[in-house]
Amino acid sequence: MLALGVTLTGMTDIHARDTTPPGAAPAANGHDDPFLWLEDIHGTRAMDWVKQQNATTAMRFVDNDEFTRTRDSILEVLDSDARIPYVSRMGNHLYNFWRDKSHPRGIWRRTTLAEYRKAEPAWEVLLDIDALNKAEDKRWVFKGVQCLKPAFERCLVSLSPDGGDAIAVREFDIPHKRFVKNGFELPVAKTQVGWIDEDSVYVGTDFGPGTMTESSYPRIVKQWQRGTPLANAAVVYEGKPTDLAVSAYHDRTPGYERDFVSIARDFFHSELYQRIHGSLARVEVPDDAEADAHQAWLLVRTRSPWTVNGTTYPAGALLATQFDRFMAGKREFTVLFKPDAHTSLDSYAWTRHHLILNLMDDVKSRLDVLTPPQMATPDGDWKRAAMPGAPAMSSISVIDTDPDHSDEYWLDVTGFLTPSSLQRGVLDSTPAETVKQAPAFFDATKFTVSQHFVKSKDGTSVPYFEIAPKDLKLDGANRTLLYGYGGFEVSLQPYYSGSVGRAWLERGGVYVIANIRGGGEYGPQWHQAALKANRPRAYEDFAAVAEDLIKRKVTSPKHLGAEGGSNGGLLMGNMLTTYPQLFGAIACEVPLLDMKRYIHLSAGASWMAEYGNPDTADWNFIKAFSPYQNVKKDGHYPPVLFYTATSDDRVGPVQARKMAAEMQAQGHPNVWFYENLEGGHGAGADNQQSAHMHAMAYDFLWDQLK
């Protein structure tokens, strides 16, 4: 579990819930909030308001030829048959989920490596979501599958009724291409489920009143046997209502079969237990560290300094030890990665005999390959070798490996002006070769990428990427779009976007990505520097980037726009209320905005480790970055577009609704609101809806920044 922008599947009721305990102080504004009625997500009065707002916004920004051209241009990118069909290996097949014009809700399909190498592979369609919807008169959105190793013939398919986090789960038979009659099946809820063996699964779901956490995720995990009622499933672990979520999983790695129970206390603190014959043994690492068992090894990724046997390991380090020795009480570690001022660990991936580290050097990628010692000599050294990196100003990521059977790896290489390439290799055997190449959706030769650093208010150096025309005139007149997120240790790395290229760059705009604190660009310290009372550091960083763009005469306030969603929507809300003088327009998407009530809305209680608890003394610092409480009638704000989705059961649509309604009631001009009915936190259930969302944001910003 990582961030607001990362899915946690969840419970049926997506209406606002007031979880204030009896006798506690009133949650949120309570009686003095005139727009509490908009929290009734599907209420008639609230939906009538949404429909009226949608009509007004559509009339202004949608019902015209320019919007149609922008939307169709983006949709052409999203629906293109020339896109890379990204795959994951399961056994002898490569699996892919694909959406296009003919399959708006998508098809789940597979092929072989030999076929995949061809320009036009022959695909075997396993599940057609559009056909399923037609047969069942539903609007299912595909949310992924879990297939049982090693045969990969039985799968648990997740389907959302509206694109939200709540899913239905059904067992699917790949050889017969059909759902299993009387197989494992769960109704719509925020569910976490995984295979144990052919006839049993671990499941956490809404078992009835009191079985979900205050964050709206499973509090109880059970072991469910095939052919028995779910109500008879055996309880494996029961957490507390204040926990974030409880889950269990079975590791089927041959020779290293193990069971684990994970108790997430919040987004950054958890406890991992090995389940042995029904009993639980704690994996004794700090609760803010990540522990990962693979084959004979235990990897520990630290978030804060950890002193063990007289040695202190820094935050952001990756440590290795033998799992069985560790569980027996030994505390001997090999340091696989140690961060410095410029380098952090982004991710890692196991192959059968190796470990690939994905590192960020000032937010640019490089890979190292590590080889553990043989178990016959477990105290030997880990070998290290550099792997050919990505081009300048780009990202490279490991998207798939086959750790049970081979040293195969798949890489995605991308940059702001470089369309993605999909590469495959086998360590110690076959060097990486490009298997698929994405097309160019705009003429990149007209643009250049540069990285800049600016000092924030407290003197911290903050990087940002700028994509601009080669003939850019530094006259302050360039329409410039500044994008940011700054939360949950999520990093914004270089990536290719045909939509940004077509809808912004080719129009002559400048596109900028700010790597502000709160993200993970420089490891956990970069994230922790903007937690809770320090949250304003993220906003100061973003403002510093804006000021630097103005100082360098790339743009000026009336031509500078800002965009962000989810936690980035909270960032936009603070730009709006705290730094309005820096911007000519702001697009605020699926946002958090009412930080007084956020823990009582949708899944908000799960983010207290990031922001704090407003029902306690934390409100003394939270109120400084709560846009809904800080917008003033006598304030002067740039035009703003709030975009959300009715089906968003993570952040929920009510915060954007209330902010727009409050600003309009205060008499501020150019406050626009649009709410898509489907799509969940992604705000788009298919490519058509996604293209509509992006086109509206880009056209709004382009229009307002002229």
> In the sheet that 418-426 helps form, which strands lie side by side, from edge to edge?
394-401, 408-415, 418-426, 430-437
Question: Does residue 250 carry a catalytic annotation?
Answer: no
Structure tokens at 139: 């609007």
Copy the structure tokens of residue 375: 């178990």
Q: What is the DSSP letter of 477?
A: -
Alpha carbons 394 and 418: distance in angstroms, whole number? 8
392 DSSP assignment = T
Please count the other Cβ atoms lying within 10 Å of the Cβ belonging to residue 444.
18
Rounded Cα gap, residues 641 and 495, in angstroms: 25
The residues, any chain, with a CB within 8 Å of residue 78's CB and separated by 6 or more, are 99, 499, 687, 690, 691
- Residue spans of beta strands (DSSP E) within 624-680: 640-645, 671-676
**DSSP 3-state of 659:** helix
From the candidates 250, 600, 681, 692, give the one annotated as an active-site residue.
Answer: 681
Rounded Cα gap, residues 653 and 651, in angstroms: 7
Helix (H, G, I), strand (E, B) or coil at 688: helix
**588 vs 483: CA distance, rounded Å:** 11
Provide the CB-side half-sphere exposure for 509 (13 A, CA).
Answer: 26
- Its sign, for the CA torsion 208, 213, 216, 220, is negative
Q: Which bin fits 661, alpha (ψ -120 to 50), beta or left (φ > 0)?
A: alpha
**220, 246 contact by CB (below 8 A):** yes
Please state the separation of Cα 675 from the chain's center in Å: 21
**What sign results for the dihedral spanned by CA atoms 565, 567, 573, 578?**
negative
Q: Alpha-carbon distance 676 to 167, whole Å?
A: 19
The CA distance from 86 to 99, in Å, is 12
Rounded Cα–Cα distance for residues 393 and 480 (Å): 20
Beta bridge partners, 260, equal: 249, 274
Which residue's entry shows tokens 């962000």?
564
The partner residues of 270 in beta bridges, in order of sequence, read 264
Q: What is each CA distance from 281 to 193, 254, 325, in whole angstroms?
A: 22, 21, 14
- Looking from the CA of 178 toward its CB, the CA atoms found within 13 Å total 4
The values of phi and psi at residue 130, to 5°, are -65, -40
Residue owning tokens 């055996």: 234
Q: Angle CA(238)–CA(244)–CA(248) in degrees, nearest 5?
A: 50
d(CA 115, CA 123): 8
Taking the chain, what is the end-to-end CA distance rounded to the nearest angstrom?
A: 40
DSSP 166-187: -EEEEEEETTTTEEPTT-SEEE
- Residue 681 known to be catalytic: yes
Q: Of the residues 160, 420, 456, 566, which is catalytic?
A: 566
| DSSP three-state, residue 174 | coil
Q: Which residues are catalytic?
A: 566, 681
